[in-house]
Amino acid sequence: MASTAKTIEPIISAAWGKPQSWTLDSYRKRGGYEALKKALQMEPAAIIDEVKKSNLRGRGGAGFPTGLKWSFVPKDSPKPKYLAVNGDESEPGTFKDRYILEDDPHMMLEGIAIASYALGVHTCYVYLRGEFKFPAERTQAAIDEAYKAGIFGKKVLGKDYELNCYLVRGAGAYICGEETALLESLEGKKGWPRLKPPFPAVVGLFGCPTVVNNVETLASVPAIFQQGAEAYAKLGTDKSGGTRLVCLSGTVNRPGVYEVSMFTTLSELIFDDKYGRGMPAGRKVKAVIPGGSSAPVLGADELDVAMEFEALKVKQTMAGSGGVIVMDDTTCMVRSLWRVARFYAEESCGQCTPCREGTPWQTRLLRKIEEGRGEPGDIDMLSNVASSIAPYPPIGLGNTICALGDAAALPTHSFLMRFRDEFEAHIREHRCPFGDKPWGSFG
Ligand code: NAI
Ligand code: SF4
């Protein structure tokens, strides 16, 4: 399909793929750290107000308004305050933050410096998933450059304000991307999520107020001060300012990471010449997961929806972490769900019963159905197990300590709601109707 999607000037991805884009020299030539200079001349409260006006929402998955989160940090607390950057990107289908870390880490570092100054933070930890060896090397090199250039250290750009930034690598556990598990891990403990509230903004790292922001969220901050908050807000919808990165994978002709307008629809992302360029010849879309594997799946007739938090909420799914997974008509939905369920069962930390017991139970039932051993009643039992972990809808009100429980249950509910006939066919025919080649997008 020829391009009809709204054209945007890329912000986050503008320099990706250009020579030496990850260096301080390249970033400065593009106006890098000018936003920090501006911010350092403002009152911290005015910086937070600007971020509120920009309508920037968290890009890690939950879409919480960034300025509002910053404003929850108590101003009069005698305790130190911390900024923790969540770079544990592990949600299946999500692979955008790594490009910021590899190709333009200074954009995130500038966001860190602006946020830290606004929040009265003197120590920031950048927490990267263990597997991110190369992104970690690039990011550490950028941190070293920033220290040498006086961006971090005793006096940030000559101002009487000290900021230190440390890179920490996780050990490859998905759960450490949950913000409170991440804080536990930073404290040197096992990555077990904490009950919320209290939220980290009030009781976070070492019991002190801590803002946890995603890599892309912080990389979006400099643009707010370069363009002005109103201009940034106007790029998006009433409730979601700016542009966003989405990761397109599955059966499409041109998978990849694309920076899109908040008005871009799933259908445009998949079919437009600027993005996915449609499906391979002879294939049709069967289903799309719009926001990382925890987001409820949509059917082929539901793709005319903007990839924005509120628009996808209306469809009872989530914009989440921007991982768009396309499944074609050769994909077995039972096997796909089994694949997703195995992931959550494997990554459950085991702290609370519905998640610890329910996630492997889902996996066992799905395997049984996929292998042709399913019995009448198994589908209801599967639905029951998922409901015990988290009911559907509403989204986000599960029976567990952290959102991994919701993430494990929501796919089950949505697959059963939209593709129940496939589950029934497996049980009726005592086999997978997709035969020997059922893997489709979920190989
Ligand atoms: P959440 O909705 O509990 O919280 C969102 C953020 O807002 C948190 O930082 C929380 O501390 C803050 N917050 C919310 N209410 C607050 C209040 N009253 N006071 C102070 N702070 C408040 O969601 P959560 O658990 O942080 O994230 C879940 C999402 O993460 C999922 O929807 C999923 O899409 C995404 N995710 C992303 C991954 C990735 O690799 N990017 C991996 C796994 C999940
Ligand atoms: Fe651990 Fe699952 Fe409970 Fe989260 S929901 S704390 S991952 S057992």
Give distance in angstroms: CA of 390 to centre of ligand 2: 12
Q: At 307, phi and psi to the nearest 5?
A: -85, 65
For residue 392, what pLDDT is reported?
79
CB 102 within 8 A of CB 138: yes
Give distance in angstroms: CA of 336 to centre of ligand 2: 22
DSSP β-bridge partners for residue 164: 123
Secondary structure string (H, E, C) spanning 62-95:
CCCEHHHHHHCCCCCCCCCCEEEEEECCCCCCCC
**CB of 90 closer than 6 angstroms to any ligand 1 atom:** yes
Give distance in angstroms: CA of 62 to centre of ligand 1: 5
Nearest ligand for residue 390 CA: 2
Tally of CB atoms within 10 A around 30: 14
Give distance in angstroms: CA of 27 to centre of ligand 1: 30
CB 166 within 8 A of CB 123: yes
State the pTM of this model: 0.96
**CB of 157 closer than 6 angstroms to any ligand 1 atom:** no
**CB of 60 closer than 6 angstroms to any ligand 1 atom:** yes
Give the side-chain half-sphere CA count within 13 A for 347.
26
At 339 the three-state DSSP class reads helix
DSSP 175: G
Atom of ligand 2 nearest to the CA of 351: 8
Over its length of 443 residues, how does the chain's per-residue pLDDT go in tens digits? 667 777 889 999 999 999 999 999 999 999 999 999 999 999 999 999 999 999 999 999 999 999 999 999 998 899 999 999 999 999 999 999 999 999 999 999 999 999 999 999 999 999 999 999 999 999 999 999 999 999 999 999 999 999 999 999 999 999 999 999 999 999 999 999 999 999 999 999 999 999 999 999 999 999 999 999 999 999 999 999 999 999 999 999 999 999 999 999 999 999 999 999 999 998 999 999 999 999 999 999 999 999 999 999 999 899 999 999 999 999 999 999 999 999 999 999 999 999 999 999 999 999 999 999 999 999 999 999 999 999 876 655 678 999 999 999 999 999 999 999 999 999 999 999 997 654 444 54
| C-alpha to C-alpha distance for 72 and 64, rounded to whole angstroms | 12
Q: ipTM for the complex?
A: 0.97
Give distance in angstroms: CA of 170 to centre of ligand 1: 19
Give distance in angstroms: CA of 385 to centre of ligand 2: 15
Atom of ligand 2 nearest to the CA of 193: 6
Residue-level length of the chain: 443
Q: Output the ligand 2 site: residues, CB below 6 A.
A: 175, 193, 348-352, 355-356, 400-402, 404-405
Identity at 318, one-letter amino acid code: M
| C-alpha to C-alpha distance for 75 and 121, rounded to whole angstroms | 11
**CB of 113 closer than 6 angstroms to any ligand 1 atom:** no
Give distance in angstroms: CA of 43 to centre of ligand 2: 40
Question: Cβ contacts of residue 197 below 8 Å, gap of 6+?
Answer: none
**CB of 354 closer than 6 angstroms to any ligand 1 atom:** no
Nearest ligand for residue 347 CA: 2
